[in-house]
């Protein structure tokens, strides 16, 4: 049986830390966290958050393990609607990253704060 994405999100969202862009910006300033835009490159190129690196969700687990070896470093994920960021956060948690946060706001809000 296939699980619709909204139903899947109901299951995984409670397990992920979620904050708004303003709180994320404040934390990133203090904790040397890593801001990752999990949208596709064309979306990222249109309006990117300052300081964000673009790693699309489809390759995130493989690419991030090359970039960040510290499982405890704070990682902040954003996308246009928080759906891809939420799914990506679940995967990063599964492979062992311990401090993963979803920025739960619109991409425009994220970009305007950073």
Domain boundaries, given as residue ranges, for the chain: 19-113
User: What does pTM read for this prediction?
Assistant: 0.89
**Per-residue pLDDT, 107:** 47
**Per-residue pLDDT, 106:** 58
Query: What SS3 state is found at 88?
Result: helix
19-113 belongs to which CATH class? alpha beta
**Per-residue pLDDT, 84:** 93
Say how far apart CA 37 and CA 20 lie, in whole Å: 15
Other beta carbons less than 10 A from residue 105's beta carbon: 20
Nearest CA-CA partner of 71 in 38, 34, 17: 34
**Per-residue pLDDT, 11:** 86
Ranges under pLDDT 70 in the chain = 105-114
């Amino acid at each position: 049986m296939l699980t619709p994405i909204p139903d899947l999100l109901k299951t995984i969202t409670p397990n992920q830390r979620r904050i708004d862009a303003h709180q994320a910006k404040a934390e990133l300033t203090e904790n040397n966290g890593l801001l990752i835009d999990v949208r596709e490159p064309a979306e990222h190129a249109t309006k990117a958050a300052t300081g964000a690196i673009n790693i699309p969700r489809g390759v995130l687990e493989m690419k991030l393990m090359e970039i960040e070896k510290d499982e405890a470093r704070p990682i902040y994920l954003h996308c246009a609607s928080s759906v891809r960021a939420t799914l990506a956060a679940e995967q990063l948690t599964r492979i062992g990253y311990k401090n993963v946060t979803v920025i739960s706001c619109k991409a425009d809000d994220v970009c305007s704060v950073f």
